[in-house]
Structure 1
Amino acid sequence: MLELPRYSSWHYRRYGVEALLAMGRKAESVQYADASRGLNQPDSVIDQACEEILISSGLCEEAYRRYGLSAAVGNSYIARFRSVAKRYPMKDKLQILSDLIATTPGEEGKWFATAKELGFYDLALELANRSPCDPKTLTRAARDYLDSEPAFALGSAIAALRWLSEGWGYEVTSIDVEEAYDRAMDVAAKLNMVGDVNERIRQLGEASDNIAVQFVRKAVQERMRAAYKVLHYLQEQQDIHLEVKARKVT
């Protein structure tokens, strides 16, 4: 009866899955559910049903391998991760995240915030530089982690400027560029790397001459000039101090 044509839709076949489960035929219920796939059928819902059956059978590893990632639901990337992690508490969080990232080739940068929230800062920066990542998200990370993770904050700010210079971002204004630059220089001052960071940003502005690069360059040029003037002044003061010290010695 379950194989009658009128049961070809998942809307009907799910009752067949429930009937097989009621008879204790779990393996057959998974096969029956899997066979329900087709045009306009809710694959993610079917995945969730199959996953639940396998987990209830104690086959968590098989459930994860076959359906765990595709059954993940959520309106954000971090929500998808939490959905999987909640169902598989025995799995290593980094492994779950790595597996989820692998399901979205070419969109690795979108997992930046998730890696950041989990404390995988090196991975977060790697993702932010592997594919486009929202510059505003990167700038906020640079601001929020200035004191606790300065190296991560610096990498985030530089990545924000990189993607801005490549034309990425939604409704970007010069204020967004200036803020990314300011956050980079805040970290640079904290790490005593103002000269090095300013030079890295200058190189970004000279990487090409497309419209986005010109926009970024124009937005930060006055700030960069001011930074170079300060560096020049500090260098002069240091030279004077060393000269005075040398005279006292002689």
Structure 2
Amino acid sequence: MHAWAFRARFRRTAFGWKGTKLAIERIHEALAEIRAVARQDPAAAAEGAVLFLEKLSPALNQIDSSSGALGNATYSAVQELVPLISSAPVDAAMRKKWLDRLFDAIQDDDPPYIEHLGDHWGELCATTELASVWADQLLPTQRSVLLERKRGTYAFFSGTTLCYSALFKAGRHDELLELLAMDPHPIWQYFVWGARVLSARGQIDEAIAYVRENAGSSTSLETIAHFAEEALLKAGRRAEAFDQFALLANQANSNLSTFRALAKKYPELAPDKLLGYLIASTPSEPGKWFATAKTLKLFDRATQLAWASTCDPKTLTRAARDHLVKQPAFAMQCALAALHWMSMGHGYELTGIDVHEAHRLAIEAAKTNQQIDQAQATIEQVLAADRPMSAWMRRSLGIPTVAAKP
């Protein structure tokens, strides 16, 4: 048996109130250890994954998790470890022991750091036979809870998603739909299984309509779009998936991350075409895609975007500095656009140094590109007296202030 280093680090209440950062580091270390073992011994790695998931919530339950960072880390850990456990080459007896241990861990999961294991219970069962056994084990309690809810009594069962997932894996789809019909107010984590049944039957449009019909105010449009896109992609209806749901389903923390997510999922789309779709999706803010176009080295498109709508002047100045030598024409336009947006009052915590830097880069790039007259003319327009910040910018550059035209 492997001696797991993470075992001692994840003892009960191992982390204090402010232990988020350390806990996340320890989670990453544990996952790295499990991955290393998996390369040589998948079964031993799966045993380690089960042990880690057992110890996770008791170790973290004293931490202030209000930032959400710890929840994201534990969610990612569950998503990574589920395939490792489900594909492990072990006999039915060992898998049954693992599931019993994980079920007990879910019952003690407070705060709920491993609750998403329930969504994958059928996958963890690995076989339809074991999934059916678990469904039979969970059904009596689940039916009892649903009857109480129909009577208007609050009732909750931590095994609900486990039950639905097991029924789905076992192919007992009609029973699953019957249970969902008993629930007067199913939440997304429950009624999505009904949509999965319809999708598995090839009724893709009906599945999408089902989630739309059952989604309440607590279900985001992004969540619905993610399901619909995935269902259409699995059905081979890629064009529909992209046109109808991809942009909403793949929103990331940055525009560049959104582009990369879509490019990975839809490799058949050329980068410039995909970027065009994204720009069209924000018609009032095309400039927000400047950094993405720059990263893709679509410099003509990036130049257009820099002037099309508000861009952060500091972002434009950095782009000018980074491309001064190899792309002087692009650098000049970035620096001039930075001055333009500064003069219009855009940008955060700007100082005279920012004005000087953008001006210097514009002149240097213009000299390299032999367009000094054009650059000077643009700068004069940017510093015109009718612009909100032109007087401040002129003072910063040591240029005499001019009176506004009557």
TM-score, normalized by length of structure 2? 0.51
Q: Paired residue for 1:197? A: 375
Q: Cα distance, 1:34 vs. partner? A: 3.0
Q: Cα distance, 1:205 vs. partner? A: 0.8
Kindly report the root-mean-square deviation, in angstroms, between the aligned alpha carbons of the 2 structures: 2.0
Question: Could you tell me which of 335, 339, 344 is aligned with 1:166?
Answer: 344
Query: Cα distance 1:191–1:26, how it changes in 2: closer, same or farther (>3 A)?
Result: closer
Q: Paired residue for 1:217? A: 394
1:35 alignment partner, SS class: helix
2:276 alignment partner, SS class: helix
Q: Cα distance, 1:209 vs. partner? A: 5.0
- Kept after mapping to 1: 8 A contact 2:228/2:245: yes
**Structure 1 residues 1-250: aligned runs within 5 Å:** 1=178, 2-3=180-181, 6-208=184-386, 210=388, 212-221=389-398
Per-residue CA distance 1:104-123 (angstroms, 9 max, x = gap) = 22211111000111121111
Per-residue CA distance 1:222-249 (angstroms, 9 max, x = gap) = 59xxxxxxxxxxxxxxxxxxxxxxxxxx
Query: Cα distance 1:21–1:207, how it changes in 2: closer, same or farther (>3 A)?
Result: same
CA distance in 2, matches of 1:97, 1:6: 44
Q: Cα distance, 1:11 vs. partner? A: 3.0
CA distance in 2, matches of 1:154, 1:222: 20
Higher relative contact order (CA 8 A, sep 6+): 1
Q: Cα distance, 1:141 vs. partner? A: 0.8
Per-residue CA distance 1:120-143 (angstroms, 9 max, x = gap) = 111111111111000001011111
2:310 alignment partner, SS class: coil
2:353 alignment partner, SS class: helix
CA distance in 1, matches of 2:297, 2:330: 11
TM-score, normalized by length of structure 1? 0.82
1:115 alignment partner, SS class: helix
Percent of pairs identical after alignment? 39
Q: Cα distance, 1:170 vs. partner? A: 0.8
- Kept after mapping to 1: 8 A contact 2:229/2:241: yes
Q: Cα distance, 1:220 vs. partner? A: 1.5
CA distance in 2, matches of 1:108, 1:35: 34
Q: Cα distance, 1:207 vs. partner? A: 4.8
| Aligned length, in residue pairs | 222
- Kept after mapping to 1: 8 A contact 2:344/2:387: no
Query: Cα distance 1:11–1:194, how it changes in 2: closer, same or farther (>3 A)?
Result: same
Structure 1 residue runs of 5 or longer lacking an equivalent are 224-250
Per-residue CA distance 1:163-183 (angstroms, 9 max, x = gap) = 000010011111111100011
* AA in 1 matched with 2:390: V
